[in-house]
Amino acid sequence: MQKEALTSLTISIKNLKLNVMISKTVQELALPVGVTLDRFIMGNQSTFPYATGELSQLLRDIALAGKIINREINRAGLVDIAGGNGTENVQGENQQKLDIIANIRFIRALKNGGEACAILSEEEEEIIHTGNNQGKYVVAMDPLDGSSNIDVGVSIGTIFSIYRRVSPMGAPATREDFLQGGRKQVAAGYILYGSSTMLVYSTGNGVNGFTLDQSLGEFILSHKNICSPANGTTFSVNEGHYNSYLQSVQDYIVHCKKNEFSARYIGSLVSDFHRNLLKGGIYLYPSTKKDLRGKLRLIYECYPLAFISEQSGGGASDGFGSILDIVPTTFHQRSPLFIGSRLMVQEAVKA
């Protein structure tokens, strides 16, 4: 009798433990998913410079294109879309197959969205007119930054910048729409394709980051109100060109080494910038004897990342002043770039 009672008690305890485990699992599964990008945009629309809905839709169009590019990157090795295409873009750089695919995907998404009247892309020499002449915005973009790293599995990204057009509504966009200068950006951001896919953007009211939940196909708010550390101990620069840098840049690199800073250089602008944005550090792409004007493109690489950096409390300079204060004269104008933690940028420029 006692044995039967003991057996019954053991079974009851096991059942209780099982019920507790099931209850805990149900509770975990029922946890809130988080704030989606769409919900965040709608909830913060009143903070946009022009709260009429078009900018919100434009950001959604960019996010949609980012999801599609993420899919293409993840299956690149399966469908033979990795590697070079055997052609050059307007910069004289070898185009990767995914450069072309990303360019097509973003142009298509922005055309279908209807909010952008024109696009400026790293991959094309002139303005791309969308046919939506009633659109209030223009978009400048680098569809796929660091694409040569795809073959070796290194993180890459998309960089974008949004301006409110200055040309008359109903007419085709003009050069002036894209040559307004960095201070005129109404929104800017980037999409990082790596171990996770993230969209980081600002509309001039702080910086927020969203991580793509692959199972839901939704960007979820994961990094709210990003504040970049004022200082750091990481420097990102291609030291292979050390002898071609100005003496002041060489001196700063020596300063970093004397202080035993960590050298971290991925060779993908978005990746290096993203790490330093979150953890503190500086990214340097100075001018060289070969490229006296610098190599990074001002309008669709330097401007948008400088906008993000300043909105998060960081800094961005060409070595002489703020990147955002440079007056652009051509679509594919180049510039040196010192960007990252505010105090590190100040020290690098001072050197």
For residue 53, the model assigns a pLDDT of 80
For the segment 46-73, what is each residue's pLDDT rounded down to a tens digit?
776 665 688 889 999 999 999 999 998 8
**In angstroms, how far is the first alpha carbon of the chain from the final one?**
88
Mean pLDDT, range 90-104, rounded to an integer? 79
Average pLDDT score, the chain: 89
Assign 75 a pLDDT band (cuts: 50, 70, 90): confident
Binding residues for Mg(2+): 122, 142, 144-145, 301
pLDDT digits (tens, 9 = 90+) for 268-285: 999 999 999 999 999 999
Please name the fold of domain 234-350.
Answer: D-Maltodextrin-Binding Protein; domain 2 (3.40.190)
Tell me which of 1-10, 224-233, 251-260, 292-301 is least confident: 1-10
Among the listed residues 213, 194, 152, the one whose alpha carbon sits nearest the alpha carbon of residue 278: 194
Per the model's pLDDT, the better-predicted residue between 86 and 325 turns out to be: 325
Q: Binding-site residues for substrate, please? A: 145-148, 238, 265, 283-285, 295
**What CATH topology corresponds to 37-223?**
Fructose-1,6-Bisphosphatase; Chain A, domain 1 (3.30.540)
Residue ranges at the known binding site? 122, 142, 144-148, 238, 265, 283-285, 295, 301
> Do 37-223 and 234-350 come out as alike in CATH topology?
no
Burial of residue 26 (number of CB atoms within 10 Å: 0-12, 13-18, 19+):
exposed
Amino acid 90: pLDDT: 57
Backbone dihedral angles phi then psi of residue 120, each to the nearest 5 degrees: -115, 125
DSSP-derived letter for residue 93 is P
In this predicted structure, what is the pLDDT of residue 44?
84
Q: Average of pLDDT values for 256-271?
A: 96
Q: Is the pLDDT of residue 287 over 80?
A: yes
Q: Where are the domains of the chain?
A: 37-223, 234-350
Please give the radius of gyration of the chain, using alpha carbons only, rounded to the nearest integer.
Answer: 24
Residue 10 has pLDDT above 80, yes or no: no
Question: Dmax over Cα atoms in the chain, in whole Å?
Answer: 95
**Cα torsion through 257, 262, 265, 266, rounded to 10:** 170
pLDDT score at 152 = 81
pLDDT at 45: 77
Strands in the chain per DSSP E: 84-88, 94-96, 116-121, 128-129, 137-145, 156-164, 185-193, 197-202, 208-213, 218-223, 234-236, 262-263, 282-285, 296-297, 315-317, 334-335, 337-340
Per-residue pLDDT tens over the stretch 300-329: 999 999 999 999 999 999 999 999 999 999
Q: Does the pLDDT of residue 77 top 80, yes or no?
A: no
The one-letter code for the residue type at 17 is: K
